[in-house]
């Protein structure tokens, strides 16, 4: 009676016990359908974010101010492509194909991080992205190294190790600009001001507005709540702003003795939901560019396939 209700209930109890014992779930284990769907959605969203995230930075590769900055930026964007690959592969362990996942994003049914729908207007934005956007991503990903799904957890460990230079190179750009000419310093300040709120929103809606979080925490897909992660990021970043000698990006930033944390005021969640719905400054451009690159690369995939067929035919003939 493999499908009886009692049996299913027992499977779910065993599954939760395994999670509570801090054991990882591996691809061939039994898992509740909703767990599979949630992990798959999160991994695909994460993979799409890595790949779409190449666009705002790629925008400055040809205009980087020196050869050194150019090769560093190239190396970083190259890393993002690799990280997308790790995550798509982890997602594929749950039976989805890469083509399906990409298709869902093209149809607007799968999301990516809304931060990448903001434009990179100046060189300082590249500094702000490395420092703040990668910094926020690292806070999130360090927690996810202990996520319950084995392949996801292992890709996070690999990614965190490789990403340690991303934030430092961004901060170094900011440091140079903040100690440069008044114009350069103003540029750094402007980038900080524009990327501050969107970076804090990368952690997702407040816990009160995040209805699926409780189940994800119980299954240990998420290890810390959105608000906890956001606070940790704010607390570590304030000192870094001070060292740059820049002004705080919001007048609401104040040390709160009672909480032992920095307050940072209310975020503009209307904007967050508008961007998620597709109405950010660059949503259409990002998707259109991804589709175009994908379509224009079709001949490469076809040529590789044709070459393989030709090699096989030749080998058969020789045999």
Partner 1 sequence: MSNMPLFEVFVRSKRGLDHTHCGSLHAENAEQALEYARDVYTRRSEGVSIWVVKASDVTASQESDRDSFYDPMDDKPYRHATHYVLPDEVNNM
Q: How far is the CB of 29 from partner 1 (least distance, A)?
A: 9
Binding residue (CB under 8 A) for partner 1 from 68, 251, 259, 317:
68
Work out the burial of residue 54: count CB atoms within 10 Å of its CB; fewer than 13 is exposed, 13-18 middle, 19 or more buried. Answer: buried
Nearest one of 126, 125, 105, 97 to 293, comparing CA atoms: 105
Q: How far is the CB of 149 from partner 1 (least distance, A)?
A: 10
* Residues whose CB falls within 8 Å of the CB of residue 73, separated by 6 or more in sequence, listed in order: 57, 60, 61, 64, 126
Binding residue (CB under 8 A) for partner 1 from 98, 106, 154, 185:
154
The answer to the question of residue 72 lying near partner 1 (CB under 8 A) is yes
Residue 201 contacts residue 115 (beta carbons within 8 Å) = yes
Q: How far is the CB of 168 from partner 1 (least distance, A)?
A: 4
Question: 262 - beta bridge partners?
Answer: 255
CA–CA dist 74, 177 (Å, integer):
20
The answer to the question of residue 312 lying near partner 1 (CB under 8 A) is no
Which residues 114-153 are close enough to bind partner 1 by CB under 8 A?
A: 135, 150, 153
Binding residue (CB under 8 A) for partner 1 from 175, 186, 217, 253:
175
172 or 227: whose CB is closer to partner 1?
172
Q: How far is the CB of 191 from partner 1 (least distance, A)?
A: 17
Binding residue (CB under 8 A) for partner 1 from 59, 165, 185, 228:
165
Residue 148 contacts residue 220 (beta carbons within 8 Å) = yes
Binding residue (CB under 8 A) for partner 1 from 100, 172, 190, 207:
172
Long-range contacts of 69-73 (CB under 8 A, 24+ apart): 69/173, 72/169, 73/126
Residue 294 contacts residue 98 (beta carbons within 8 Å) = no
The pair of three-digit structure tokens given for residue 136, joined into one six-digit string: 């926020």
Residue 43 sits at the vertex; the CA angle it makes with 35 and 130, to the nearest 5 degrees, is: 145
Cα separation values, 227 from 205, 207, 213, Å: 8, 6, 11
Which residues 227-286 are close enough to bind partner 1 by CB under 8 A?
A: 239-240, 243
Query: Looking at 5-13, 23-31, 216-224, 264-272, which segment touches partner 1 (CB under 8 A)?
Result: 23-31
244 or 282: whose CB is closer to partner 1?
244
The answer to the question of residue 168 lying near partner 1 (CB under 8 A) is yes
Q: How far is the CB of 93 from partner 1 (least distance, A)?
A: 13
What residue ranges bind partner 1 (CB under 8 A)?
23-24, 26, 68, 71-72, 75, 79, 135, 150, 153-154, 164-165, 167-169, 171-172, 175, 239-240, 243
């Amino acid at each position: 009676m493999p499908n009886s209700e009692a049996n299913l209930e027992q499977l779910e109890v065993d599954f939760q016990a395994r999670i509570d014992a801090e054991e990882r779930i591996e691809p061939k284990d039994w898992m509740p359908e909703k767990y599979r769907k949630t992990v798959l959605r999160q991994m695909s969203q994460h993979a799409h974010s890595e790949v779409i995230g190449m666009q705002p930075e790629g925008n400055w590769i040809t205009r980087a101010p020196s050869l050194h900055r150019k090769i560093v930026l190239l190396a970083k964007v190259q890393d993002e492509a690799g990280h997308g690959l790790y995550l798509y592969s982890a997602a594929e362990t749950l039976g989805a194909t890469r083509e399906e996942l990409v298709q869902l994003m093209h149809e607007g049914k799968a999301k990516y991080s809304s931060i990448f729908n903001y434009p990179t207007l100046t060189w300082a934005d590249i500094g702000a992205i490395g420092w703040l956007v990668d910094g926020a991503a690292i806070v999130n990903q360090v927690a996810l190294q202990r996520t319950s799904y084995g392949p996801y957890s292992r890709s996070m460990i690999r990614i965190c190790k490789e990403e340690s230079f991303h934030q430092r190179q961004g901060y170094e750009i900011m440091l140079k600009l903040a100690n440069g000419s008044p114009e350069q310093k103003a540029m750094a300040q402007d980038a900080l001001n524009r990327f501050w709120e969107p970076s804090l929103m990368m952690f997702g809606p407040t816990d009160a507005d995040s209805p699926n979080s409780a189940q994800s925490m119980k299954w240990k897909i998420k290890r810390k709540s959105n608000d906890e992660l956001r606070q940790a990021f704010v607390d570590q970043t304030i000192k870094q702003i001070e060292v740059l000698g820049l002004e705080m990006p919001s007048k609401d930033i104040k040390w709160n003795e009672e909480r032992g944390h920095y307050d940072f005021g209310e975020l503009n969640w209307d904007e967050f939901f508008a961007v998620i719905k597709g109405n950010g400054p660059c949503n259409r451009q990002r998707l259109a560019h991804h589709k175009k690159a994908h379509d224009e690369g079709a001949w490469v995939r076809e040529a590789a396939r044709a070459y393989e067929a030709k090699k096989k035919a030749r080998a058969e003939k020789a045999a």
